[in-house]
Amino acid sequence: MGPGRFGASLLALLLAAPALAGEVQSIDPEALLAALKAKQERILVLDVRSEEEFEAGHVPGAVHIPYDQLESRIDEVEAASPDKVVVYCERGGRAGKAEATLQQAGIEEVYDLEGHMKGWRDANRPTRRPPSE
Protein backbone atom coordinates (compact mmCIF):
# COMPACT_ATOMS: atom_id res chain seq x y z
CA MET A 1 0.00 0.00 0.00
CA GLY A 2 1.54 3.31 -1.08
CA PRO A 3 1.58 6.46 1.04
CA GLY A 4 -1.16 8.04 -1.10
CA ARG A 5 -3.63 5.28 -0.26
CA PHE A 6 -2.70 5.37 3.41
CA GLY A 7 -3.15 9.15 3.52
CA ALA A 8 -6.56 8.88 1.86
CA SER A 9 -7.65 6.18 4.31
CA LEU A 10 -6.48 8.24 7.27
CA LEU A 11 -8.29 11.30 5.94
CA ALA A 12 -11.51 9.30 5.49
CA LEU A 13 -11.23 7.99 9.05
CA LEU A 14 -10.63 11.46 10.48
CA LEU A 15 -13.61 12.87 8.60
CA ALA A 16 -15.84 10.06 9.86
CA ALA A 17 -14.64 10.35 13.48
CA PRO A 18 -17.23 12.95 14.59
CA ALA A 19 -20.05 10.80 13.21
CA LEU A 20 -18.62 7.72 14.89
CA ALA A 21 -18.32 9.60 18.17
CA GLY A 22 -21.97 10.71 18.03
CA GLU A 23 -21.60 14.24 16.79
CA VAL A 24 -23.87 16.70 18.58
CA GLN A 25 -25.99 19.12 16.59
CA SER A 26 -26.16 22.79 17.51
CA ILE A 27 -29.33 24.75 18.12
CA ASP A 28 -29.63 28.49 17.63
CA PRO A 29 -30.87 30.37 20.74
CA GLU A 30 -33.76 31.91 18.80
CA ALA A 31 -34.82 28.46 17.58
CA LEU A 32 -34.65 27.19 21.16
CA LEU A 33 -36.82 30.06 22.43
CA ALA A 34 -39.35 29.43 19.65
CA ALA A 35 -39.44 25.68 20.39
CA LEU A 36 -39.90 26.29 24.12
CA LYS A 37 -42.71 28.73 23.42
CA ALA A 38 -44.44 26.35 20.99
CA LYS A 39 -44.40 23.54 23.60
CA GLN A 40 -44.70 20.89 20.88
CA GLU A 41 -41.75 18.91 22.24
CA ARG A 42 -40.47 18.09 25.70
CA ILE A 43 -37.18 19.99 25.73
CA LEU A 44 -34.86 19.75 28.68
CA VAL A 45 -32.48 22.70 28.84
CA LEU A 46 -29.50 21.56 30.87
CA ASP A 47 -27.11 24.03 32.52
CA VAL A 48 -23.88 22.20 33.39
CA ARG A 49 -22.03 25.14 34.99
CA SER A 50 -21.18 25.56 38.68
CA GLU A 51 -23.77 26.40 41.33
CA GLU A 52 -22.43 29.96 41.59
CA GLU A 53 -22.68 30.49 37.83
CA PHE A 54 -26.22 29.09 37.74
CA GLU A 55 -27.33 31.32 40.61
CA ALA A 56 -25.88 34.39 38.88
CA GLY A 57 -28.32 33.83 35.99
CA HIS A 58 -29.41 31.05 33.66
CA VAL A 59 -31.62 30.32 30.68
CA PRO A 60 -35.26 30.40 31.87
CA GLY A 61 -36.50 26.91 32.73
CA ALA A 62 -33.03 25.36 32.71
CA VAL A 63 -32.30 22.42 34.97
CA HIS A 64 -28.99 22.64 36.78
CA ILE A 65 -26.72 19.60 36.94
CA PRO A 66 -22.99 20.43 36.99
CA TYR A 67 -21.11 18.51 34.28
CA ASP A 68 -18.98 16.66 36.84
CA GLN A 69 -22.14 15.33 38.57
CA LEU A 70 -24.04 14.38 35.43
CA GLU A 71 -22.93 10.76 35.21
CA SER A 72 -24.19 10.03 38.75
CA ARG A 73 -27.41 12.03 38.15
CA ILE A 74 -28.28 10.78 34.66
CA ASP A 75 -31.51 9.28 36.07
CA GLU A 76 -32.80 12.85 36.60
CA VAL A 77 -32.43 13.52 32.89
CA GLU A 78 -34.03 10.20 31.95
CA ALA A 79 -36.93 10.82 34.38
CA ALA A 80 -37.81 14.03 32.52
CA SER A 81 -38.42 11.91 29.37
CA PRO A 82 -37.27 14.71 27.07
CA ASP A 83 -37.59 14.62 23.30
CA LYS A 84 -34.46 16.77 23.16
CA VAL A 85 -31.76 17.80 25.63
CA VAL A 86 -30.13 21.17 24.99
CA VAL A 87 -26.86 21.58 26.87
CA TYR A 88 -24.92 24.72 27.68
CA CYS A 89 -22.16 25.98 29.93
CA GLU A 90 -20.35 29.31 29.87
CA ARG A 91 -18.42 28.90 26.61
CA GLY A 92 -18.67 25.26 25.51
CA GLY A 93 -15.94 23.13 27.11
CA ARG A 94 -17.95 21.62 29.94
CA ALA A 95 -20.99 21.21 27.71
CA GLY A 96 -18.97 19.00 25.36
CA LYS A 97 -18.10 16.67 28.25
CA ALA A 98 -21.74 16.60 29.38
CA GLU A 99 -22.97 15.88 25.85
CA ALA A 100 -20.62 12.89 25.63
CA THR A 101 -21.94 11.62 28.99
CA LEU A 102 -25.54 11.93 27.77
CA GLN A 103 -24.78 10.08 24.55
CA GLN A 104 -22.95 7.30 26.42
CA ALA A 105 -26.10 6.91 28.53
CA GLY A 106 -28.10 6.32 25.35
CA ILE A 107 -29.72 9.73 25.00
CA GLU A 108 -29.77 10.43 21.28
CA GLU A 109 -31.35 13.86 20.83
CA VAL A 110 -28.60 15.98 22.38
CA TYR A 111 -28.05 19.54 21.19
CA ASP A 112 -25.39 22.13 21.92
CA LEU A 113 -26.68 25.68 22.53
CA GLU A 114 -24.86 27.98 20.11
CA GLY A 115 -22.93 30.68 21.96
CA HIS A 116 -23.65 29.08 25.33
CA MET A 117 -24.38 31.38 28.30
CA LYS A 118 -21.91 34.03 27.22
CA GLY A 119 -23.64 34.40 23.86
CA TRP A 120 -27.05 34.30 25.54
CA ARG A 121 -26.13 37.21 27.84
CA ASP A 122 -24.30 39.15 25.12
CA ALA A 123 -27.50 39.12 23.04
CA ASN A 124 -29.53 40.36 26.03
CA ARG A 125 -31.76 37.29 26.03
CA PRO A 126 -33.85 36.68 29.16
CA THR A 127 -32.21 35.12 32.21
CA ARG A 128 -33.56 33.88 35.51
CA ARG A 129 -32.11 33.55 38.98
CA PRO A 130 -33.22 31.02 41.58
CA PRO A 131 -35.53 32.49 44.23
CA SER A 132 -33.78 33.64 47.40
CA GLU A 133 -34.24 31.42 50.41
Cβ 114 vs Cβ 73: under 8 Å: no
Q: How far is CA 92 from CA 33, 46, 111, 112, in A?
A: 19, 13, 12, 8
Q: Give dist(CA 88, CA 104) in Å, integer.
A: 18
Q: Give dist(CA 90, CA 79) in Å, integer.
A: 25
Instruction: Say whether 89 is catalytic.
Output: yes
What is this structure's pTM? 0.81
Q: What is the pLDDT along the chain (133 residues), one digit of tens a residue?
A: 444 554 444 444 444 444 445 689 999 999 999 999 999 999 999 999 999 999 999 999 999 999 999 999 999 999 999 999 999 999 999 999 999 999 999 999 999 999 999 999 999 999 998 776 5
Q: Which of 46, 85, 89, 102 is catalytic?
A: 89
Domains recognised in the chain with CATH numbers: 24-122 (3.40.250.10)
